[in-house]
Amino acid sequence: MTARRRGLAQRRRAVGFSQEHIAEHLGVDRSTVARWECGETLPQPYLRPKLAAALRLSSEELATLLAESDRITPAAYHLTRHHSAPVRLPATLLRPVQAAADDRAADLGLRAFERRLHQAWELRLRRGSSNPCLVLVGGFAGSGKSEFGRFLTGITGWTHLDKDVLTRPLTESLLLALGADPNDRHTTTYTTAVRPLEYRALMNAAFGNVTTGVSTVVSAPFLDEMPNARWLRRLAARCAAAEIDLAMIWVDADVDTMHAYLQARDAARDTWKLSHWDDYLASIDVMTRPQRPYFLVDNQRNTAISLADQARRIVESRDHGC
């Protein structure tokens, strides 16, 4: 048992839990916990918050505990279970870290960062050479697509890009510069001069991630894009050329649920929709769907399956390429 795993087991015993207790709390087998403690595997990212809480640790404390090992050296990280020889971190990563760590004035956090680099490198090697995945989560305003995107990233540990979070400050500034209402999302000023730039920036950011091997979930309405077969063909071709797996998810909700969501979040950009609800509904086609194979998430008010459970079902599905 490595020093890292001894620390994990010691912490578990210190808080009075057996491996069976931890396994039951996290919804895994006892053998899974045993493999964590003997150094064979690491806890999946989505399990770590619950594991940290069970062990009464902060997320950073757990990360440090998982990263500690008497086998880690600056030169190599040993993966004897998967490799016959030590696997070396790229020199382009090691040299700057080592150079900074040699400075007496260097922050002590550099050592922790170096351990995190080794840990991330190990996890990437264990995942193998599977293609990164680009997941587009679309739906109408108030359908719950951002919430679903967060559930999905919490389960997978992938990056989440939300259009409003990524683009709203620039969108509002651009609308003001054009002499328009910063909360406008329905006039031709927004739809012709601003919206195309939002989606270009969003997709550029997404491809910036996936082309470096980082699977990414993108939440946005995609109301013009997902029903556009030509746009989807171009996107699919771009993904195929870069060996990126593409998945589409549409979050469906009834109009009452969408109205309730918009009222609850009380965002300024929704003011026009809520004040002109009938006009807004007349401007959309609630039967809009992606023009390629997709997963349908039912977020209607009376649904019996939670968003989180539907996210898990998609992740566990054997029918998609991600």
Distance CA 22, CA 5 (A): 15
What is the per-residue pLDDT for 16? 85
- pLDDT, tens digit, for every residue of 152-198? 888 888 999 999 999 999 999 999 999 999 999 999 999 999 999 99
What is the per-residue pLDDT for 308? 63
- pLDDT, tens digit, for every residue of 23-44? 988 888 888 888 888 877 788 7
Specify the residue for token string 């999302």: 185
- pLDDT, tens digit, for every residue of 198-236? 999 999 999 999 999 899 999 999 999 999 999 999 999
Most confident of 55-59, 250-254, 301-305: 250-254
- At the fourth CATH level, which superfamily is domain 133-316? P-loop containing nucleotide triphosphate hydrolases (3.40.50.300)
For the chain, what are the domain ranges?
3-127, 133-316
What is the per-residue pLDDT for 116? 72
Mark out the alpha helices in the chain (DSSP H runs).
3-14, 19-26, 30-38, 48-54, 59-67, 91-101, 109-127, 145-156, 163-177, 188, 195-210, 229-241, 255-265, 271-275, 277-282, 307-316
Distance CA 218, CA 210 (A): 11
Residue 53 CB neighbours (<10 A): 13
Distance CA 199, CA 164 (A): 11
The closest of 123, 138, 156 to 47, measured between CA atoms, is 156
Give, for 252, the enclosing helix (H) or strand (E).
strand 245-252
What is the per-residue pLDDT for 41? 78
**Predicted confidence band at 5 (pLDDT cuts at 50, 70, 90)?**
low
112 CB-side CA count, 13 A: 10
Q: Would you state the structure tokens that stand for residue 127, as one six-digit string?
A: 């995942």
**Predicted confidence band at 306 (pLDDT cuts at 50, 70, 90)?**
low
- At the fourth CATH level, which superfamily is domain 3-127? lambda repressor-like DNA-binding domains (1.10.260.40)
